[in-house]
Amino acid sequence: MTATSPQSSQNNSARLDRFRIARISTVPFFVVAQLKQQIAALGEQGATVTVVASDEPEMSLLHGLPGVSCVAIDIPRSIAPWRDLRALIQLFLFFKRERIQIAHSTTPKAGLLTALAAFFAGVPVRLHTFTGQPWVTMHGAKRWLARASDKLIGRLNTRCYTDSASQRQYLLEQGIMDESQVFVVGAGSLAGVDMRRFDRERFSASQCATMRQSLGIAHDAPVLLFVGRITVDKGVGELLRAFAAIKASGSNAHLVFVGRFDADSGVAGAIAPGDIERLADTHIVGYTECPEAYMAIADMLCLPSYREGFGTVVIEAAAMGVPTVGTNIYGLSDAVEQGTTGLLVSPRNDGELTAALKRLLDDKALRMRMGAAARQRAATLFDSGKVSQLLVDEYCFLLQKTGVVK
């Protein structure tokens, strides 16, 4: 059976007029960073969309989207029995009061609470998208509980999705769910990539020069870029050790970190600013709503992660013509075409990572070929407009299949 949901591309004229859709996530930051354009597309299709997430500042960035409103429900990331119970009750009451017809969750805790609340509230179409499994790097009772939660999500929902085919295969091999429960929309990714936004042509030579100057990077110095949570399970420790080795060899390369520090990743240890700042030619930018400005000056993206559902930042960089050096794990093996749009190495392997980074640093022609191939692949497979339409088609099929649409 194909990993792609078989109904995802059958009706390009599908509309969602009058239908009430809830998109639920633990935190609004995830929605803004990953799903904002897709949610706007649902509103443009005529749906009434409600974003449900914890009450955090990023929620304000969703206001003003046509057909979209926001509801704040505190959904804790970690286990918090009383807060979890309160969130469960609030979600149940919200689904009943608003007569939600599609409840679609992302992120682990939101997925579990939404599956329970939507099932008991009688929401006809209950969906969840897996974006990676935190239990991959867990042990003992915590791992068992997280795996059991994913199994329950699969059993209570109408349908589940993964954002990559290799992640779907992993869930099948692990016995979390069977082939009739989990699908991939199109070629994968969570919401695709906006090819107009992530376009190197948007940034002039003078803008790129100014960006380099603001960071103190010489015009001819190669730039390695990391975008994401700055944490152990993103492979930042390995990246720092590899970069130290590269600098010791006499390279004039710079390493730029774009993202927030996150000590709550489920992996022992944490990355602190001082771990980065002690190395020469490293730069910590922090979170930005315009990562593409840094991709415009980058020669390669570095993502040596331990686990990824897909790696959205990889196709964003690809759209900018930037190849990726990442790890050969499920998810990233879908986002990067090995040897064509980037290089994949074994996870937690400093030596392989150093060698791959050096290979691209030493071969500008190879970087350029991989960058061009990466942009072409992103446009062909992951254009956000195409991905959003596939999701609309999927919603319409499921509304009809469950009898909401006669």
User: Tokens 């993964």 map to which residue?
Assistant: 162
What pLDDT does residue 78 have? Answer: 84
Give the pLDDT of residue 3.
59
Domains of the chain, earliest start first = 20-192+383-401 (3.40.50.2000), 200-381 (3.40.50.2000)
Strand partners of residue 162? 130
Does residue 221 sit in helix, strand or coil? coil
Calpha distance 311→60 (Å, rounded): 25
CB atoms within 10 A of CB 89: 13
Indicate whether this model's pTM tops 0.85: yes
- Per-residue pLDDT, 2: 43
Tokens found for residue 182: 């989990």
Q: What is the pLDDT along the chain (406 residues), one digit of tens a residue?
A: 345 665 554 444 447 888 999 999 999 988 998 999 999 999 998 999 999 999 998 899 898 888 999 999 999 988 899 999 999 999 999 999 999 999 999 999 999 999 999 999 999 999 999 999 989 888 999 999 999 999 999 999 999 999 999 999 999 999 999 999 999 999 999 999 999 999 999 999 999 999 999 999 999 999 999 999 999 999 999 999 999 999 999 999 999 999 999 876 555 568 999 999 999 999 999 989 899 999 999 999 999 999 998 999 999 999 999 999 999 999 999 999 999 999 999 999 999 999 999 999 999 999 999 999 999 999 999 999 999 999 999 999 999 999 998 6
Amino acid letter at 101? Q
Residues 236 and 230: beta-carbon distance below 8 Å: yes
Which residues, other chains included, contact 188 with Cβ-Cβ below 8 Å and sequence gap of 6+? 162, 163, 164, 165, 310, 334, 335, 382
Burial class from Cβ neighbours inside 10 Å (0-12, 13-18, 19+) for residue 43 reads middle
Q: What DSSP string describes 168-185?
A: HHHHHHTTSS-TTTEEB-
In degrees and rounded to multiples of 5, residue 69 shows phi and psi of: -130, 170
